[in-house]
Amino acid sequence: MLDALQYEFMRNALIAGVLAAVACGIIGTYVVVKKMVSVSGAISHSSFGGIGLGYFVGINPVLGALFFTIASALGMGLVIKRTRLPEDTAIGILWAMGMAIGIIFIGLTPGYAPDLFSYLFGNILAVPFSDLILMLALDAVIVIIVIALYKELLTVSFDEEFGTVTGVPVEALYLLLLCMIALTVVVLIRVVGIILVIALLTIPAALARQFTHDIKKMIPLSIIFGALFSFGGLWLSYELDLASGATIILLSGTVLLVTLGLSRLRSRARIHETPPNSAG
């Protein structure tokens, strides 16, 4: 693996892994604690519409995804907050509509859509330098917003109604959170692809949640886990010649499941150690 670092694509892959870990560590934490996994799934899949748009207009598909995903995140937020449609119904509809738009655009684009597969399933080994710059910029935007609005985002995540009562602009912050999920999705597309984004958005944060009860600690911990998973998955895929995105996801998922299993065994062992008369 170390000798592989002499290749530019390998160095780019490692940088992409870190940049992805930062975005998914921060936003993934909010997605997990506020239970926004399905809306995040819808946002990530709708980004396919942007990829298709990018092909059709002839710009970088990731750039197309950036604008399209933010627009669909805002649209989704407004439908969820302002219409009577149940939230999961709205999510299901917009999820499929985004993908449908992508398919239409790709169909309209003359010729063959190159590396379409890598947008769907990710290819961390093929991240161009220009996309690294875009990822870095999006990370910076996310970090600045979360630092500036930490207490507001905490209130909105914990208790929207109480937030409204104390004067927090709840709806605006919810939409902002959805937009940041959209930015994170765009950062992650190159690494794990549209279909797999949701796993990298949730697994590092869910794992971090096992070790801490404090959001301020959960965020850096998820970033570290995300980076470790990207590196580990990248190394495994290099050694075993497997698809990088899928390897990263399977590695993360396996670690999470093993951790959950271990903590279950540990708590069961604790119950057995405790004499029955001292309980309660």
Q: Of the two residues 168 and 195, which places its CB atom closer to other proteins in the complex?
A: 168
Q: Which is nearer to other proteins, 81 or 209 (CB)?
A: 209
HSE-CB at 47 with a 13 A cutoff on CA atoms is: 35
Residue 60 vs 212, nearer CB to other proteins: 212
Give the contacts of 86 (CB within 8 A, at least 6 positions apart): none
- Smallest gap from Cβ 16 to other proteins, in A, equals 29
d(CA 25, CA 216): 11
DSSP letters, 238-259, are HHHT--HHHHHHHHHHHHHHHH
Using the minimum distance from each CB to other proteins, give the nearer residue, 157 or 202: 157
* Residue 174 φ then ψ, to 5°: -65, -45
CB of 214 vs other proteins, minimal distance in Å: 6
Of 158, 206, 180, give the one whose Cα is nearest residue 23: 180
- Which chain residues interact with other proteins by CB under 8 A? 33, 35, 148-149, 151-152, 154-155, 157-159, 161-169, 209, 212-215, 218
Q: How far is CA 269 from the centre of its chain?
A: 35
190 and 122 in contact (C-beta within 8 Å)? yes
Q: What is the rounded distance in angstroms from the CA atom of residue 140 to the CA atom of residue 159? A: 27
| Shortest reach from residue 34's CB to other proteins, in Å | 9
Q: What is the Cα–Cα distance from 16 to 133, expressed in whole angstroms?
A: 10
Measure the CA–CA gap between 257 and 255, rounded to whole angstroms: 6
Q: Which of 117, 138, 88 is nearest to 243 (CA)?
A: 117
Smallest distance from the beta carbon of 25 to other proteins, in angstroms?
15
Rank residues 35 and 272 by Cβ distance to other proteins and give the closer one.
35
Give the shortest CB-221-to-other proteins separation in angstroms. Answer: 11
Least distance from C-beta 29 to other proteins, angstroms? 9
Contacts 24+ apart (CB under 8 A), 108-111: 108/56, 109/52, 109/55, 109/56
- For other proteins, give the closer residue by CB, 151 or 266: 151
Residue 9 or 34 with smaller CB distance to other proteins: 34
- Please state the closest distance from residue 151 (CB atom) to other proteins, in A: 6
